[in-house]
Amino acid sequence: MIRAVLAGDKNAYGTLVARHSQNVFRVAFRITGNEADADEVVQEAFLRGYQRLQSFESRSEFGTWIYRIAVNCALNMINKRKVEATYQIGEETDPEQHQVQVADAAPSPERSLLSREIEALQKTAMRTLTPTEKTAFLLRHMEGCSTGEIAETLHIAPNAAKQAVFRAVQKLRRNLAPLRVTP
């Protein structure tokens, strides 16, 4: 497929996009936490992939390569947003504006309040993670990636990937301890 694209067949790249876009979107959404940003990351990742396809060395599969590009694009977007946020301190933003919510059958007011409190604690806990820890955690526990795949995606040693996942889990356990139910 890649040889066909390099030979000038643009439709072949469309096939690669169709084949891998769902996985790329999923990881982008988990990192950015927002559908519109994830869509932007997917577009940026595949555009960069197309522009840099000649540098693809086939040491890994195309899916892993484009996945790594998407992770980098998502992390860049998060860092860019943090910088932008520091300049917009005076402006108020509504955090619920960027959430995807699924309607419950008929939640009680107590359940709704508890759900919002749990969600706020989870978001706060995730913000304590470094971008590497967050991405390593998401790749391992949400995407089911191996330590080797995480290391390759983040351009770090396998041992560093394992440590990033471990640190993320430890931080999350500490920060989410108030949610534990003791018998």
12-33 mean pLDDT: 89
Domain boundaries, the chain: 1-87, 106-176
* Architecture per CATH, 106-176: Orthogonal Bundle (1.10)
Average pLDDT, the chain: 81
User: What is the Cα–Cα distance from 156 to 154, expressed in whole angstroms?
Assistant: 6
pLDDT at 6: 77
Domain 1-87, CATH number (from 1.10.1740.10, 3.40.1350.10, 3.40.50.2300, 1.10.10.10): 1.10.1740.10
Percent of the chain with pLDDT over 90: 23
Q: What is the per-residue burial (b if ≥16 Cβ within 10 Å, else e) of 110-131?
A: eeeeeeeeeeeeeeebbeebeb
Amino acid at 51: Q
Q: CA-CA distances (angstroms) from residue 2 to 15, 48, 61?
A: 10, 14, 11
- Tokens 């330590």 correspond to 147
Is pTM beyond 0.85? Reply is no
CB 45 within 8 A of CB 73: yes
User: What are the helix (H) ranges across the chain?
Assistant: 2-6, 10-32, 35-51, 62-87, 109-127, 131-141, 147-154, 158-175
Per-residue confidence band for 5, with pLDDT thresholds at 50, 70 and 90: confident
User: What is the Cα–Cα distance from 114 to 181, expressed in whole angstroms?
Assistant: 14
9 has pLDDT over 90? no
CB 156 within 8 A of CB 132: yes
114 has pLDDT over 80? no
pLDDT at 95: 53
pLDDT at 161: 93
User: What is the Cα–Cα distance from 155 to 60, expressed in whole angstroms?
Assistant: 13
Nearest to 77, CA basis, from 120, 34, 119: 34
105 has pLDDT over 80? no
User: What is the Cα–Cα distance from 21 to 7, expressed in whole angstroms?
Assistant: 22
112 has pLDDT over 80? no
